[in-house]
Chain A
Amino acid sequence: DAKTTQPNSMESNEEEPVHLPCNHSTISGTDYIHWYRQLPSQGPEYVIHGLTSNVNNRMASLAIAEDRKSSTLILHRATLRDAAVYYCILEVLNKFYFGSGTKLNVKP
């Protein structure tokens, strides 16, 4: 029961910014938006999360639309190590609802 919609794949050039979109039109007021990424043969790794305001950390920025029905993960300078599947997730009452994710390919 995925509650988020993401493009299947995206491509970026190394050292350029990447904007990964996510739609979550059924979000409610208390649902957090999380982003995780998964490298091959590894478990998902935390990237960033937020509720209403835009968030920044050392890995990325999260821009949340004013109506909260969509969000964008921003990688400011993509590196080859950022190639992974990026999951946009809604947290509803302690449960994560994973979508199918966006596979990011980074070209040198």
Chain B
Amino acid sequence: DAGVIQSPRHEVTEMGQEVTLRCKPISGHDYLFWYRQTMMRGLELLIYFNNNVPIDDSGMPEDRFSAKMPNASFSTLKIQPSEPRDSAVYFCASSLSNAANYGYTFGSGTRLTVV
């Protein structure tokens, strides 16, 4: 079990550029979550999917952010255009059925720096 795999680990981009973060959940997990962590706001849920369908995107900060899950083994979080305030660590997590029974497994995160 390789766990939740995120890529890239680090991303530095210029303001205005498009950024795509990638996540491969644990095989068989049917929930996928995207979180953002900053010093000021801590860990915030951005969006989550169940069986590849977006269920709650109320945490997505603005229209510049979008997330997709084309199949059960892959998800992307895209920021277009990126801004310096988007600099943060972005985590992907997956779980089986619901966390009440099985808990979440988090990836190692993508550290995004927008300059």
Chain A contacts to B: CB under 8 angstroms: 2, 32, 34, 36, 41-46, 49, 51, 87, 91, 94-96, 98-101
Contacts and interface: CB of A to CB of B under 8 A. Distances in A.
Nearest to A97: B45
Nearest to A100: B42
A91 B99 contact: yes
A95 B42 contact: no
A96 B106 CA distance: 13
Contact of B48 (A2, A34, A94): A94
B25 interface: no
Interface of B: 4, 31, 33, 42-45, 48, 50, 55-56, 91, 93, 98-100, 103-109
A94 B31 CA distance: 10
Contacts of A91: 99-100
29 contacts: A32-B100, A34-B103, A36-B104, A42-B108, A42-B109, A43-B4, A43-B91, A43-B93, A43-B106, A44-B91, A44-B93, A45-B106, A46-B103, A46-B104, A51-B100, A91-B99, A91-B100, A94-B31, A94-B55, A94-B56, A94-B98, A94-B99, A95-B56, A96-B33, A96-B43, A98-B44, A99-B42, A100-B42, A101-B42
B45 A95 contact: yes
Contact of B42 (A2, A41, A42, A49): A2
A100 B55 CA distance: 25
B100 A49 contact: yes
Nearest to B9: A41
Given A94-B48, A99-B42, A101-B42, 6 more contacts: A42-B108, A43-B106, A44-B106, A46-B103, A49-B103, A91-B100
Please indicate which of the listed interface residues B4, B43, B109 has the most CB atoms of chain A within 10 Å of its own CB: B43
Contact of A43 (B99, B100, B103, B107): B107
